[in-house]
Amino acid sequence: MKILLTGSSGFLCQELTQFLATGNSVKTLGRNSSNDIQADLRQAVNSLEHFDCVIHAAGKAHLVPRSEADKQDFWDVNVIGTRNLLKALEEHPPQRFVFISSVSVYGKSAGFLLNEQSPLLAKDPYGESKIQAEAEVVQWCRQHDVICTILRLPLIYGENPPGNLKAMIHGIKKGYYFNIAGGRAKKSMVLASDIAKFILKAAEVGGTYNLTDGYHPNFNELSNCIALQMGKKFVPNMPLFVAKFLATIGDILGSKFPINSDKLNKITSTLTFDDTKARLAFGWKPSPVLKGFNIYE
């Protein structure tokens, strides 16, 4: 199969590139010179050749914007970038198009096994940009008779993870990470390797899917899994009343303080997603993240 992959320098795409290269012809598109097609999707892109499948994983990752420029960047990269890619494909539309989206589109900080029918309520710049990009991909694929697949992903784990997982691993290693109120809150996660294994199966079927590991570990399980691999016997716990006091201080001091009320609410709230639709549609059968959670540092 002839595949185009955008966002090849991203965390997920490193796993995708390695897996898809076996038995397929894969070309990458991105800003740096290591890509087969060097292009900045924030700007118009020349017409692209025909591909059997396009996997659009390029995008600005989820973070708290610190300025209006940061907010605009979500729109420029995730929405305008998607539009420019679709325009570049119009002369030679692929048979299949896969868009890597996020469970952030639901706009929820707490919830239990939310499915794909849940309303898209995101009001933050990242979530809104993903909602808009999804809508434009669906419409374009319908107009060009392309099989459209949208994958809404939670926290992704793989080798050398970025973001919150990287911070957790580093904090446990240095001894300043604490579980809060026993770390009982559960979060949906998924292994990057599982996404890579099943992405072409999903592309054949089309549709919108949540992908998770089906287990949804809590913070206590996850942190202790990491600690054991570092030779640490346990992860310390912080009582909720202490965390609330520190969060109040963080609300006053601002972003430089490690915790505030918003972060505390997210850490102590369960947020999980239902992947039943994917299991029925294309045989999604993931591995529990805790079994595949290996520290590579």
| pLDDT tens per residue across span 120-151 | 999 999 999 999 999 999 999 999 999 999 99
d(CA 48, CA 37): 9
**pLDDT on residue 296:** 59
Q: Decide if pLDDT at 21 tops 80.
A: yes
**pLDDT on residue 44:** 94
Number of domains in the chain: 1
Is the residue at 227 inside a domain? Answer: no
Is the residue at 133 inside a domain? Answer: yes
Tell me if 183 sits within 8 A of 259, measured CB to CB: no
Residue 53 binned pLDDT confidence (cut-offs 50, 70, 90): very high
**pLDDT on residue 63:** 63
Instruction: Dump pLDDT digits (tens) for 173-206.
Output: 988 899 999 999 999 999 999 999 999 999 999 9
Is the residue at 105 inside a domain? Answer: yes
Domain holding 117, by residue range, is: 2-161+189-216+272-292
Instruction: Dump pLDDT digits (tens) for 144-159.
Output: 999 999 999 999 988 7
Percent of the chain residues topping a pLDDT of 90:
72
d(CA 53, CA 24): 11
Is the residue at 29 inside a domain? Answer: yes
Tell me the CA distances in angstroms from 216 to 126, 146, 154, one per residue in order: 23, 33, 10
Beta bridge pairs of residue 38 = 30
Residue with token string 């995101």: 122
Instruction: Work out the number of other CB atoms within 10 angstroms of the CB of residue 279.
Output: 15
Tell me if 257 sits within 8 A of 249, measured CB to CB: yes
Token pair for 156 = 């992704």
List the CATH number of the domain containing 95: 3.40.50.720
Is the residue at 178 inside a domain? Answer: no
d(CA 40, CA 44): 8
Is the residue at 253 inside a domain? Answer: no
Is the residue at 237 inside a domain? Answer: no
Token pair for 19 = 């897996």
**pLDDT on residue 64:** 60
Q: What is the mean pLDDT of residues 55-82?
A: 82
Q: What is the mean pLDDT of residues 16-37?
A: 92
Which amino acid, one-letter code, is at 188? S
Is the residue at 56 inside a domain? Answer: yes
